[in-house]
Amino acid sequence: MARYAYFLPIAAVLGAVLGRALHVPLDDLGAGVATLLLLGAAFSAVQHAERISARLGQPYGTLVLTFSVTLIEVSVLMSLMLNSTGNPTLAREAVLSTVMFVLTGVVGLCLLMGALRHYEQEIRQQGVSGYLSVIIAISVLALVLPEVTRGGLVGAPLKIDVFVIMVAVVLLYGSFLFMQTVRYKAHYLEGGESLHAPPSRRATLISIVFLLISLAGVVLLSDRVAAGVEHLVSLGHLADPDAVIGAVVVAMLLLPETLTALRAARRNQLQQALNTALGSGLATIGLTMPVMVAIGYLIGQEVQLSLDPEDRIQLLLALVLSVVSFGTGKTNALTGLVHLVLFLVYVMTLFSP
């Protein structure tokens, strides 16, 4: 494993502790250094999570990656919610950005890169269908339904409506985890055996320690990064700054997991790539959104869930396309290109809604 995976987590924790102890100002330089340290810690966390994943095997190993990235994302988004005057639409924008980045951007790149190298790739259709069925259900429940409830039509959704929706979201995600890890475990496994021996017990224990240090560094630095991101976006005088902030944070935090998925696709392990990509998207809408909504209500901050019309159309289009793309159990370059085109359109609407 690269040396930075051991050095950067310690540097991130020390930088966060010293920054607070010495009262380093939150200027552009301080925020920039904090962002670099946070990214380094996030990359290190994924590196160590991958080693733990290799020891645990699939699909449990993918869950380690998924929960690690989810914790990182929650910590940064919480800091953004608590920073300045608050961002009432940040939770929904972050969740939408994650779903769009994963279903169109990351999946599109995996399908295209895998097809260019291996022509066609096969997947376990039952496993991918399991991911998509839950992603579709949760996305519509959390991002579309609130606006068309009786409370949503006359103003804001009632708290009881939001509570029921969030409970349903958590139940759906919990049910999926049970099916993935217990009942239908074989549907989420890559065909064939790994070419590499699993890491030793000692190496795995070391990775567990450094994974925890990496995650601690991210949590400690998240408030400074949140302030820096908000300041940077404010300079652009954008029409929808929350959407751009959510997309920037998601892109930054999904980068390590994206690289993991792309490497798997290039090795002709498309099922593992999709497990990583779709698992991150599902964890975000299944875990991050309920946590963000709960925190918003606890601190008395408004949390808006309903999407704008153009975002709703793009979300539904991405969901339908994903169902069609994996309907045959085989993928090719054309499938990847279609996903990537939708991703480019989504990025364009972030800056020109």
DSSP characters over 192-206: S--SSPPPPHHHHHH
* Residue 28 or 90, more confident: 90
The span from the CA of 210 to the CA of 47, in Å, is 10
Give yes or no for a contact between 331 and 115, defined as CB atoms under 8 angstroms apart.
yes
Q: What is the pLDDT of residues 89-135, one digit of tens each?
A: 777 888 888 889 999 999 999 999 988 888 888 887 788 888 899 99
* Amino acid at site 211: L
pLDDT at res. 83: 65
Q: How many CB atoms lie within 10 A of CB 309?
A: 8
DSSP symbol at 27: S
Pair of tokens at residue 227: 């302030």
DSSP symbol at 190: P
pLDDT at res. 171: 92
Q: What is the pLDDT of residues 256-310, one digit of tens each?
A: 778 888 888 888 888 888 888 888 788 878 888 888 888 778 877 777 777 888 8
pLDDT at res. 154: 47
pLDDT at residue 24 is higher than 70:
no
Mean per-residue pLDDT over the chain, rounded: 80
DSSP reduced 3-state for 122: strand
Report the pLDDT averaged over residues 230-240.
Answer: 70
Give every CB contact of residue 287 below 8 A, 6+ residues apart in sequence.
70, 74, 170, 173
User: Quick one: fold of 4-351?
Assistant: A middle domain of Talin 1 (1.20.1420)
Grade residue 320 by pLDDT with cuts at 50, 70 and 90: very high
Query: Which of 75, 349, 42 has the alpha carbon at shortest distance from 219?
Result: 75
Say if residue 59 is preceded by a cis peptide, omega within 30 of 0.
yes
Judging by beta carbons within 10 Å of its beta carbon (0-12, 13-18, 19+), is residue 83 exposed, middle or buried?
Answer: buried
Rg (CA), the chain: 20
Residue tagged 């875990």 (tokens): 287
pLDDT at residue 155 is higher than 80:
no
Grade residue 30 by pLDDT with cuts at 50, 70 and 90: low
Report the pLDDT averaged over residues 333-352.
Answer: 91
pLDDT at residue 189 is higher than 70:
no
Q: What residue segments make up the domains of the chain, in order of their start? A: 4-351
pLDDT at res. 342: 94
Query: Which of 7, 285, 2, 3 has the alpha carbon at shortest distance from 132?
Result: 285
Is the pTM here over 0.85, yes or no? no
Report the pLDDT averaged over residues 315-339.
Answer: 90
